Structure 1
């Protein structure tokens, strides 16, 4: 059943990780060069792996436990991305007066983590519903 709410959440994760990571810049270097996810291989690889994993997980709707575990693995991808971003932001020049050096793209892993947690909550709710129906039989 692809029309479930967790499928929508995972589709949004794939759109955020696979699409918006190319639209919004991650940060700006000292010489006014904007850095996007496609400019760094580690960012690109993690964003694309996350988007692919979210798309694959959508079609595993018959195996909810595996879907739940893969979403947790996807959350781990985004936490790694977030850690890399925090490390990079701490090493960028600029302070309070140069806030424009940090791009909006650094927030994308946070958005994806929230969506994945919501998807896992919906998967858990479905699993509990199936278990309760099985108990009645």
Structure 2
């Protein structure tokens, strides 16, 4: 990764960040990004093959319900653990993968909103 910066632009409704397996930064990196109400944004995840990497909501602009998976990855699996979306690649897989998930909720005026993320995953032997 060597100092590269990944950005998403727009007004935020939910700020997301990664929490790696057992709080180990050496197996998972997800640069912070902002989601947009009722739109799909792209996120990036860098993870060691076969290791857990999760994305969790940190700040909301209203009530947020648990996440739901809209598209499973081709080379791994997704699980939902509370507010976390957890990705694990097949052991030994190295390459690109992706999945899509959404958080439903209400904005500050109690109007329904859906924040959708298309997560691009780079799986490698080490970070």
TM-score, L = length of structure 2: 0.31
- Structure index of larger Rg: 1
Which structure is higher in strand share? 2
TM-score, L = length of structure 1: 0.29
Q: Which structure is richer in relative contact order (CA contacts within 8 A, separation 6 or more)? A: 1
